[in-house]
Amino acid sequence: MDFSLSNLSTNKTDGQQHVEVLVIGSGPAGLTAALYAARADLNPVVLAGMDLGGQVSLTYTVENYPGFPEGVGGAEMVELFQKQAERFGAKVEFDTATEVDLSKRPLRVKTYNGEYLAETVIITTGATPLHLNVPGEKEMTGRGVSYCATCDGWFFKDKDVVVVGGGDSALEEAIFLTRYAKSVTIVHRRDSLRAGVILQNRAMENPKITFVWNAVVTQILGGEAVHGVRLKDTVTGEEREHATDGVFIFIGHKPNTELFEGQLEIDELGYLIVDKLMHTRVAGVFAAGEAADPHFRQVITSAGMGAAAAMQAIHFIQEQASDEPQTPVLVKSES
Ligand code: NAP
């Protein structure tokens, strides 16, 4: 069935490209949205940014995505998502949205390389790791301070490292770091962890991991390279130095939604506000994944939101193309 708006698919004129579905972001939500839109013959374009896959591509292994009983590497998973979307006609562009105008139709999205006029936009811009904002952090980033164990763990072979945080990311990455590091000290600001019980048990049982409870890092010490952190006990207020070669920070994320400020509804934490059908307040603009999800933030839930957003975008395009409201389910049946 062809229900595209005047069959425009992806017309390119004067650096402007007219598309039916523009997906901004290439993590699990974006690539799943692209898969669904592609299977509805809408030739979606995905603005992948400079790094395909978002945060999951930096994850060493994903063990809780169904269908991979032995787990799957984050980067490999993203490659599979991309291949599957491309197989049905999605186009992944390594380009970044720099400006949007959602006030009129078609919706306009400027990028480094041109401009898109889009009938629908699906925002899946994900989130960025939070910083501690303590002295030494900025100066030492890349010199012992890191936000990605998969990227930088190798540099800490037989070294002592500190991991900051008590959530799933901190524990998962701390366990990963024990492949290389001689010791991993997890510094957590409370005396109980936020992470799930399986990860907690694995971390507690790992002989290379120790915990410093009720402590925060107040300063990162070093010159050319990190040589320690200053810790403050959150109960007694006492401060002390702790020697370490590296500091890995996993204290949560901030949604990447600045681009949409003033045009879409954003909550006090920076998440895009969507209804349960992934609609933003602008008709034809949908959001999915971590940019719009303060609650679950899993690969599986982001992918699910991406699928839902695409189904609604398909429905929207179909309604625009027809006077008669039609049934919303337009994705191809499984074969
Ligand atoms: P998170 O769940 O928000 O945990 C952040 C941790 O950092 C918390 O323990 C928090 O302490 C601590 N923290 C926050 N600000 C801090 C600060 N300024 N100084 C010191 N500590 C600070 O973040 P996440 O671990 O990145 O996880 C994000 C989401 O992804 C979660 O939904 C998680 O379940 C999911 N995830 C899942 C997996 C998995 O299932 N395998 C893996 C990774 C992430 P408090 O506990 O005291 O608040």
Per annotation, catalytic residue among 95, 152, 245, 293: 152
- The residue-averaged pLDDT of 112-139 equals 96
The yes-or-no verdict on residue 174 having pLDDT over 90 is yes
Sign of the dihedral through C-alpha 72, 74, 80, 81: positive
Pocket of ligand 1 (CB under 6 A): 64, 132, 164-170, 172, 189-190, 194, 216, 250-253, 297-298
**What 8-state DSSP symbol labels residue 271?**
P
The yes-or-no verdict on residue 50 having pLDDT over 90 is no
Longest dimension (CA), the chain: 70
Note the pLDDT of residue 12.
Answer: 58
Note the pLDDT of residue 11.
Answer: 56
- Cα of 31 from ligand 1 centre, angstroms: 24
312-330 core/surface letters (b: 16 or more CB in 10 A; e: else): bbbbbbbebbeeeeeeeeb
Are 163 and 152 in contact, with CB atoms under 8 Å apart?
no
CA–CA dist 79, 311 (Å, integer): 22
The yes-or-no verdict on residue 233 having pLDDT over 80 is yes
- Ligand 1, residue 250: give the atom nearest the CA: 26
Note the pLDDT of residue 14.
Answer: 63
CA–CA dist 100, 47 (Å, integer): 13
Query: Best mutation site among 133, 137, 164, 168 for ligand 1, i.e. most ligand atoms within 8 A of its Cβ?
Result: 168
Q: Where are the alpha helices (DSSP H) in the chain?
A: 28-39, 74-87, 137-140, 149-152, 168-177, 197-205, 299-321
- The residue-averaged pLDDT of 147-168 equals 94
Give per-residue pLDDT as tens, 76-116.
999 999 999 999 999 999 999 999 999 999 999 999 999 99
Give catalytic status of residue 2 as yes or no. no
CA–CA dist 144, 137 (Å, integer): 9
Task: Name the percent of the chain lying above pLDDT 70.
Answer: 92
Give catalytic status of residue 151 as yes or no. yes
Note the pLDDT of residue 219.
Answer: 98
The total number of residues written for the chain in this structure? 335
Note the pLDDT of residue 323.
Answer: 56
Give catalytic status of residue 293 as yes or no. no
Q: Which of 252, 35, 296 is nearest to 133 (CA)?
A: 252
Q: Is 219 left (phi over 0), alpha (psi -120 to 50) or beta?
A: beta
Determine which of 7-16, 93-102, 181-190, 266-275 has the lowest per-residue pLDDT on average: 7-16
- Ligand 1, residue 63: give the atom nearest the CA: 41
Q: Could you tell me which residues come within 8 angstroms of residue 28 by beta carbon, excluding any fewer than 6 positions away?
A: 54, 56, 77, 78, 81, 289, 299, 300, 302, 303, 306
- The residue-averaged pLDDT of 48-58 equals 89
Per annotation, catalytic residue among 101, 151, 191, 267: 151
Note the pLDDT of residue 2.
Answer: 40
pLDDT grade, residue 61 (50/70/90)? confident
Give per-residue pLDDT as tens, 278-288.
999 999 999 99
- The residue-averaged pLDDT of 302-309 equals 98
- Ligand 1, residue 199: give the atom nearest the CA: 41
Q: What is the pTM of this model?
A: 0.81
